[in-house]
Amino acid sequence: MLPVILFGVTFLIFCVFSLLSPMERLATYVRDPGTLKNPQSAARLISKYHLDDPFPLGYLNWLKRMASFDLGWSQSANQPIWEAICQRFPATLELVLYSIIPVILVGIWLGVISAVHHNDMLDQTIRVTAIIGWSLPTFIFGLLVLFIFYGVLGWLPPGRLSSWAQDIVYTAQSFRNYTGLITIDALLNGNISIFWDAVRHLIAPIITLSYINWAYLLRITRSSMLETLRKDYVRTARSKGIEENTVIHLHAKRNALIPVTTVAGMMIISMLGGVMITETIFNYPGLGFWAASSAQQLDYGSVISFALLFATIMVVGNLIVDISYALIDPRVRLE
Amino acid sequence: MNRILRKLFSNATSLVGIILLAIFMLIAILAPIIAPPFADDPYIIPRMSWEIKPQPPGSLMSEDIRQIYEFTGREIKYEKAICGTAEGGYDIFYGLIWGTRTAFKIGIVTVFFSMLIGLICGSIAAYFGGWIDEILMRITDIFLSFPFLVAAMVLTTILGRGLDKVMIALVVFGWMGYARVIRGSILSAKEETYVIAAKALGVKDSKIIWKHLLPNTIFPVLVQASMNIGSMVITASALSFLGVGAPVGYADWGQMVSFARNWIIGSPGNAGGYWYTVFYPGIFIVFFVLAWNLVGDTLRDILDPRLRGEL
């Protein structure tokens, strides 16, 4: 299944790419836009890169180049596209990791709690919060966060690091980059002040990126847990005199979490779309920020590569979700 | 049908949604009266000054702009920026009012066409089954492999700026949900006796789908459509916010929020001094989307008996 989807994804991206003229496509490979002004050298380059080939041949050539990570030249980043991606990937990874893990842990915990303490006031509050969460677009919520925590209170600055910390992290010899995730690198280097600075810059983007998922995950966990708690086997467990805590966490929770897994797929989608907006609002130097500014500058090569990358991440992410389905639910595993 | 309408109007949450929608519709219809256009194209927001810095609510049209209007012989319809001006002197009030029309246009057009594509694709896949189903559903999967916002941004970038390009991008990557829903309901409905009876009588396939199956299975799709209008408007606004959507100066709420981006923090000693640049467009977007979601959420609860009293 996976190869078919990946083939389809690359094919679709190439179709979109082919909407551009050969000249515009050539611009994504050329470092110096000046060479395009000369029609002769431009024509030579077009045939060199097979940009005027018939569609199927062009697709194969393009695929070959993408597979060898020769993605072209990014005008907006002024470096090869693959290099630009590698350089910005850790920043985005750091943001997304910290946005997913707390949501899953705390969101499920809260959902279970609110299902166990089922009362109508809380019920309505959660429902209304979820709808308002859906209706509040990320770019408005993010601006509000920026306004309150930076504009008014001055606590959480935009960017990834303060300038003094940037000097240390990117130039000082003594600071070694192990993972590219600044919070972890700072701890490995034993530099608490840089760790604290990185955390201060991360909090606001994390809130912005994950607030929709909080509401959503909580709601799904809650309704699924409510349903499970009414099942016969839970009643049997209770009537056998098993402690309430064990019934909830060992018997009910595991089954209630099965539908929650599907939400994880949804979360990946909203995260991948959300990083563009979140990073743009907070000037956070990751992939999303770069993609958005490439789109504004009509840097087609970068935008196409970005789409290819994110589609691949999403396909692989959904595969992981499917596998974790089997891990949680023994019935799926047996099939 | 009557039962559904009665419930929609008796439920407090959906009533709020319906009232909000009615207000927005009034604004959209009366736009030429509330905010009379200056230019030939009414969707171009008039500028109240050349000033880059936003001007507070109640500020007047600057002298040089007034001279331009007098010089070109155009009538100045009003000269007070009630809600202030955004970056570049664009009148916020005018953008809000005409942006309502833009929002309705985006929401209704994109949802209509993506629903149409989804219905055709999903019903054909479910009705004929076999390899047709397999191929159509794999194509759906492929389109679903792109994060919606990312895909829409890429396609809009390639097609070029403009509201029509944004709508094309939203439709191209927005139909898959409908296809899946309608496929699911037709798969179960096509085993019903009335369909088998119609087949036995020799009714054409297209007529069975159109006259017998769709009327019986379309309700869940309509619920989805009403919720979807809000998210389409959000995505279109997000594209404008990222700078790839509507052209500069077009009456569009997302773009007005993006005008506010550089000013939201305020200036030193004056935190939040430019609150109006994000407050008004933000309120309009949130209430518009909220209205559709409230109606859609209640519709879903009414139509799905399993959810009654549960959620």
pLDDT digit string (tens) for B21-61? 999 999 999 988 888 887 778 888 888 888 788 888 878 87
pLDDT tens digit sequence for B268-284: 666 677 888 888 899 99
- Identify the pLDDT of residue A191: 82
The answer to whether B170 faces chain A, any CB pair under 8 Å, is no
Mean of pLDDT values over A297-322: 87
Out of A19, A147, A223, closest to residue B158 by CB: A19
Contacting residues of A for B231, CB less than 8 Å apart: 134
- Identify the pLDDT of residue B271: 67
**In the structure, what pLDDT confidence band is assigned to residue A120 with cuts at 50, 70 and 90?**
low
- Identify the pLDDT of residue B309: 44
Please state, for a pLDDT cut of 90, what percent of chain A lies above it.
8
Contacting residues of B for A151, CB less than 8 Å apart: 264-266, 271-272
Three-state DSSP string of A191-202: CHHHHHHHHHHH
Mean of pLDDT values over B288-303: 83
Contacting residues of A for B143, CB less than 8 Å apart: 12
Contacting residues of A for B157, CB less than 8 Å apart: 295, 298, 300, 303
Q: Please say if the pLDDT value at position B109 is more than 80.
A: yes
The encoded tokens of residue A267 equal 């979360």
- Identify the pLDDT of residue B112: 95
- Identify the pLDDT of residue B306: 53
**In the structure, what pLDDT confidence band is assigned to residue B209 with cuts at 50, 70 and 90?**
confident
- Identify the pLDDT of residue A332: 66
Give the three-state DSSP class for B55: coil
Residue (of A185, A211, A179) closest to A197 by Cα position: A185
Q: Please say if the pLDDT value at position A335 is more than 60.
A: no
pTM of this structure: 0.86
- Identify the pLDDT of residue A318: 83
* CB-CB under 8 Å, B243 with A296: yes
Q: Please say if the pLDDT value at position B1 is more than 70.
A: no
Q: Determine which helix (DSSP H) or strand (DSSP E) holds A74, and give its type and residue range.
A: strand A73-74
- A147-161, A241-255, A257-271, B217-231: the lowest-pLDDT one: A257-271
Mean of all residue pLDDT scores within chain B: 85
Q: Please say if the pLDDT value at position B234 is more than 60.
A: yes
* CB-CB under 8 Å, A8 with B142: yes
d(CA A62, CA B146): 19
Q: Please say if the pLDDT value at position A319 is more than 70.
A: yes
Alpha helices, DSSP H only, in chain A? 2-17, 22-26, 39-48, 55-67, 81-116, 120-135, 138-146, 163-166, 182-188, 192-229, 232-239, 244-246, 253-281, 287-296, 300-328, 330-334
Q: Which of A140-149, A297-306, B169-178 has the highest mean pLDDT?
A: B169-178
- Identify the pLDDT of residue B103: 93
d(CA B196, CA A316): 41
Out of A151, A226, A276, closest to residue B264 by CB: A151
Q: Which of A5-14, A142-151, B101-110 has the highest mean pLDDT?
A: B101-110
Distance of CA A179 to the CA centre of its chain: 18
Out of B145, B243, B289, closest to residue A314 by CB: B145
The answer to whether B157 faces chain A, any CB pair under 8 Å, is yes
- ipTM rounded to 2 decimals: 0.84
The encoded tokens of residue A335 equal 């099939």
Out of A132, A151, A276, closest to residue B265 by CB: A151
Residue (of B30, B39, B145) closest to A9 by Cα position: B145
d(CA A260, CA A276): 26
- Identify the pLDDT of residue B132: 93
Query: How distant, in Å, are the alpha carbons of A97, A284, A301, B209 from that of A93?
Result: 6, 12, 22, 47
Contacting residues of B for A276, CB less than 8 Å apart: 149-150, 153, 242
Query: How distant, in Å, are the alpha carbons of B64, B168, B179 from that of B112?
Result: 44, 12, 13
Residues in Cβ contact with A181 at an 8 Å cutoff, skipping those fewer than 6 apart: A90, A93, A94, A97
Distance of CA A47 to the CA centre of its chain: 37
d(CA B224, CA A286): 34
* CB-CB under 8 Å, A295 with B244: yes
Q: Please say if the pLDDT value at position B73 is more than 90.
A: no
The answer to whether B242 faces chain A, any CB pair under 8 Å, is yes
Give the number of residues written for chain B.
311
Instruction: Name the closest residue on chain B to residue A114, using Cα atoms.
Output: B311
**In the structure, what pLDDT confidence band is assigned to residue A274 with cuts at 50, 70 and 90?**
confident
Q: DSSP state, B157?
A: H
Contacting residues of B for A125, CB less than 8 Å apart: none
d(CA A178, CA A187): 11
Q: Please say if the pLDDT value at position B7 is more than 90.
A: no
Residue (of B108, B105, B120, B102) closest to B254 by Cα position: B102
- Residue B133 Ramachandran class (φ > 0 left, ψ -120 to 50 alpha, else beta): alpha
- Identify the pLDDT of residue B123: 92
The structure tokens 């009034």 sit at: B26
Mean of all residue pLDDT scores within chain A: 82
Mean of pLDDT values over B202-225: 86
The encoded tokens of residue B77 equal 């319809």
- Contacts A–B by Cβ distance under 8 A: 149
Q: Please say if the pLDDT value at position A205 is more than 80.
A: yes
d(CA A22, CA A45): 10
**In the structure, what pLDDT confidence band is assigned to residue B310 with cuts at 50, 70 and 90?**
very low
Residue type, B252: D
- Identify the pLDDT of residue A190: 80
Out of A295, A304, A307, closest to residue B242 by CB: A295
pLDDT tens digit sequence for A76-105: 888 888 988 998 999 999 999 888 887 887
